[in-house]
Amino acid sequence: MLERFDVQECFGHFASDVREVQRSGAWVAEVDVHAVGAPENVATVVAPRVIHAAGFDYTAPEPIDLSSKAVRSISPSELSATLATDPDAPVYVVGGGKTGMDTVLAALRGNKARAVTLINGNGTYFLNRTRYFPAGLRRWFAGALPAIVFRDCALMFDGHNEEDLRAHFIATYAANNDPRSKNHVYGILSEDESHQIEAGLQDKLWDYLEDVVDNEAGPVMRMRSGAQVPVAQGSIFVNCTGSIFRQRRPEEHMPCLSPNDVILSINTNEAAHFLTTYSSFILTHLFFCGRLRKAGLYFLDLQVLLQKDRQVFTAATMSQSYLNLLIGLKNLPPASRKHFGMDFNLWYPLPRRILALMGIRKTAREDVRHCRKALDAVVERFGLIGGQMR
């Protein structure tokens, strides 16, 4: 029988606590709620089930605090207005991730002669949008479904060989194939964008910015390597160093599913996927179907893993996402899968999706064993909270 929910919005309110309690012999959830800015006025809501969707620890980038008074430091959101007031100022983009790439393109779009320098850190490599998300008729014969890409990478990773997987991904799937790049957090870049960036940059520094200071000759960048690089007065520094996992997590760990199956928590400390959108869909449907605890999904503390080793984070989340895709296909009702609009494989025509999934199903049992073994090795290596839900 179809159940309908009475949904009421509480915008402008904050949930300060959610807990599982027993009332009249039944387990229920209590949620403490108060208006933002009024923590003293707490109301407690009682419900038979609660979804606690904390998601990512997102922090909007702020301008970098630089010592120099001769340069400007801004956030990406200030770029357009800043360039409009000084269309010829040199731009230094701090951070080589997707925000950094978009910022470089935006700076060049207004003035292709502008001096733009990328402070690239360890470098970031991106999935080739042109090849793996082809447009028009090419979707029928070119590229490969994301599920196939993830399967290839997941089966290569054994829990220890993240360097081999990085080299393989750069050579096979990346739009920018510089083998020095070490970071990948699932950004996508087209070949044309990659060429524009490489052709438009005045310089690319494989280093990290520590500060910009003023001396007698003018402002100078101090780099983590110890190098000191002069910059022109009036240069613009844009902070593109990232916006997720920037703060320490709370000391209290919240499990994905409470002991009595009352509270579902979608978080990054016990996560089923690196995208909270995917986690939300799969976990919520399994939660309401009563299949979540026994489905066999593999959970990882992604926040701690990213802080400990970014390359292992990428390799492990590829294995985890492929593993949990297989488990989701097995456990989700067909009606749920039909409405999964976040599935990137939908970019390709139905016949190609069917053929790909038929191939995946043939080896699913062996693939699941391989991925679990690799992820168990990662959990042991880094002392993570992780594993199958019990």
pLDDT (tens digit per residue) in 348-358: 999 999 999 89
pTM of the model: 0.90
pLDDT tens for each residue of 158-215 = 999 999 999 999 999 999 989 999 999 899 999 999 999 999 999 999 999 999 999 9
- What is the DSSP secondary structure assignment for residue 160, as one 8-state letter? S
pLDDT value of residue 54: 80
HSE (side-chain half, CA atoms, 13 Å) at 168: 16
Written as one string, the DSSP assignment of 319-371 is HHHHHHHHHHHHHS-HHHHHT-TT-GGGGS-HHHHHHHHHHHHHTHHHHHHHH
Asked if pLDDT for residue 2 goes beyond 60, the answer is no
pLDDT value of residue 189: 96
Token pair 């520590």: residue: 210
> pLDDT confidence of 254, banded at 50, 70, 90?
confident
pLDDT value of residue 39: 87
Fold that domain 65-126+175-240 belongs to in CATH? FAD/NAD(P)-binding domain (3.50.50)
Q: Which two tokens stand for residue 164?
A: 């081999």
Q: What is the mean pLDDT of the chain?
A: 92
User: φ and ψ at 150, to 5 degrees?
Assistant: -65, -35
When pLDDT is averaged across residues 110-136 and rounded to a whole number, the result is 94
Q: What 3-state class would DSSP assign to 140?
A: helix
When pLDDT is averaged across residues 219-230 and rounded to a whole number, the result is 97
Domain ranges of the chain: 1-48, 49-59+137-173+248-390, 65-126+175-240
Asked if pLDDT for residue 259 goes beyond 70, the answer is yes
Determine the Cα angle at 139 with ends 133 and 144, to 5°: 60
